[in-house]
């Protein structure tokens, strides 16, 4: 399978192309079973939701080695990266939800205005219902199960559709989930674009999609046919800004780690660097030093460096490199047979080239020289809003300025990627990089309907509300309301 249309157009990393025929109604029985779970209130109680969350933890803990092996098969993912990104992060998400789900489910009370007295208000979270989660290939467990945690905590039934571009991980999820979950609570459907197309044609109570901006538009268009709410976790070009006063050695190590994690196939990886001219050359040398230290100059042979997921993505990244312009200051080699691209830094590429327009999603880092932090902010504002923004500086004033003069899904100061691991921080995009947020309570809220309830006693019965409306009634209404 390739992730390209017949004309060679890249389709993004959310829903890959395939030629499977899926008859209409193929998944009606699956959806009906999940709907029956909602009608029966299988996850209505806090105890039931906690049991489902514990099942997630048990599945991860019991099958840790199988998960690591599946990630190695699909992505040549280093063991530590698998533990950190696809196992530990999800376990932390699940543990956090277990600790707080009772209070989240309780909702909140409000003080009613005079016109509603005597009485009081309450906000009651209730499940959206049956949720479709479409997850990508680059972090198959983290980006499939993290939204699942929020959905289960909120009491939803879920159909999970993993990407077949990570076939070992998809197959493992399809095999394990029936062992741990009631089919009225959670089911898995495997397949490619035709499967996804059929699923998107169905009416769901919420769709949660992680993938490319292009496919996000397709998902939103399909959801609009049924007025289905969506959470879209998309990508984009996340900049790293390096100010003249930054600790360049630390900035370089952190940028290189974030950029080449999972061979650059991370939606919040630093996509390009904006560096002040006075420290550009010094930063380049620190980037070179960091890359050499991480991989000992042998990325194709390193067990600590992943591969590009398939030949289609390999060729796409190669095209971006070949048309970038600028100067390749280090890296650039490619192993076509192994689908490995050496960590590459390109200095001052052509700003109109595809590499500065498309999300790279690979181990290639453009470095762009800028005159000032003010110009860096202008550069970011001139482009679609990114999913993340990274700033390296020792100045609080600079931090405040960049925060006030840019817009992005999230910001991480003096590091990269780590903000995604804090369950108390909502994670999501803005504009082209997505809509809606999740993690922690934000995930629970995104996958709940917050129902407003006003409680009134039967007596007293205020006659002023009813006709006839006299002048006296009007005076009282004006005074009170």
Within 13 Å and on the Cβ side, how many CA atoms surround 254? 20
Q: Does 377 qualify as catalytic in the annotation? A: no
* Cis amide linkage into residue 463, ω under 30° from 0: no
d(C-alpha 298, C-alpha 284), whole Å: 19
- DSSP codes joined into one string, 105-149: HH-EEEPPPGGG-S-EEEEEEEE--EEEEE--SSSTTHHHHHHHH
Catalytic residue (choose from 81, 198, 233, 358): 233
Give Cβ neighbours of residue 367 (< 8 Å, ≥ 6 apart).
Answer: 272, 273, 275, 280, 283, 284, 287, 329, 345, 346, 347, 348
**DSSP state at residue 82:** I
Q: Is the dihedral of CA 228, 233, 239, 241 positive or negative?
A: positive
Catalytic residue (choose from 164, 169, 198, 267): 267
For the record, the structure tokens of 82 come out as: 């698998």
Q: Does 233 qualify as catalytic in the annotation? A: yes
d(C-alpha 104, C-alpha 109), whole Å: 13
| Token pair 């999913």 in the structure block, residue | 387
**DSSP state at residue 76:** -
- DSSP codes joined into one string, 403-454: HHH---SEEEESSSSGGGG-TTS-EE--GGGEE-EESHHHHHHHTEEEEEEE
- The SS3 of residue 328 is strand
Return the active site residues.
233, 267
């Amino acid at each position: 399978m390739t992730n390209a249309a017949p004309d060679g157009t890249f389709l993004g990393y959310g829903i890959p192309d395939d030629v499977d025929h899926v008859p209409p109604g193929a998944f009606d029985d699956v959806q009906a079973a999940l709907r029956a779970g909602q009608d029966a209130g299988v996850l209505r109680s806090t105890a039931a939701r906690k049991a489902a969350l514990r099942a997630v933890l048990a599945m991860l803990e019991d099958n840790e080695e199988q998960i690591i092996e599946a990630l190695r098969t699909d992505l040549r993912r280093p063991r530590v990266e698998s533990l950190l990104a696809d196992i530990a992060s999800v376990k932390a998400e699940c543990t956090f939800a277990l600790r707080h789900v009772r209070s989240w489910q309780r909702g909140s009370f409000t003080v009613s205005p005079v016109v509603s007295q005597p009485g009081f208000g309450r906000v009651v979270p209730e499940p959206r219902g049956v949720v479709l989660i479409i997850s990508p290939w680059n972090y198959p467990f983290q980006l499939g199960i993290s939204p699942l945690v929020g959905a289960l905590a909120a009491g939803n039934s879920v159909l999970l559709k993993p990407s077949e571009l990570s076939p070992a991980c998809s197959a493992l999820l399809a095999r394990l989930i029936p062992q741990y979950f009631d089919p009225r609570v959670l089911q898995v459907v495997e397949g490619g674009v035709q499967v996804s197309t059929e699923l998107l044609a169905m009416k769901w109570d919420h769709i949660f999609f992680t993938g490319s901006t292009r496919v996000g538009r397709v998902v939103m268009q399909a959801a609009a046919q049924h007025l289905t709410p969506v959470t879209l976790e998309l990508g984009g070009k996340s900049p790293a800004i390096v100010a003249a006063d930054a600790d360049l050695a630390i900035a370089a190590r952190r940028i290189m780690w974030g950029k080449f994690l999972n061979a650059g196939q991370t939606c919040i990886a630093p996509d390009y660097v904006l560096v002040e001219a006075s420290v550009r050359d010094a930063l380049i040398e620190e980037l070179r030093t960091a890359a050499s230290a991480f991989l000992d100059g042998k990325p194709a042979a390193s067990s600590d460096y992943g591969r590009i997921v398939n030949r289609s993505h390999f060729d796409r990244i190669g095209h971006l490199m070949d048309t970038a312009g600028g100067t390749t200051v280090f890296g650039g080699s490619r192993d076509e047979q192994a689908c490995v691209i050496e960590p590459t830094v390109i200095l001052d590429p052509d700003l109109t080239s595809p590499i500065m327009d498309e999300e790279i999603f690979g181990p290639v880092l453009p470095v762009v020289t800028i005159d000032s932090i003010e110009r860096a902010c202008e550069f970011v504002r001139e482009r679609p809003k990114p999913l993340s923004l990274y700033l390296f500086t020792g100045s609080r004033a600079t931090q405040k300025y960049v925060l006030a003069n840019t817009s992005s899904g999230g910001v991480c100061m003096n590091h990269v990627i780590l903000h995604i691991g804090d369950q108390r921080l909502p994670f999501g995009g803005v504009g082209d990089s997505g809509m809606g947020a999740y993690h922690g309570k934000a995930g629970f809220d995104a996958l709940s309907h917050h129902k407003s309830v006003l409680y009134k006693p039967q007596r007293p019965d205020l006659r002023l509300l009813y006709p006839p409306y006299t002048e006296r009634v009007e005076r009282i209404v004006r005074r009170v309301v």
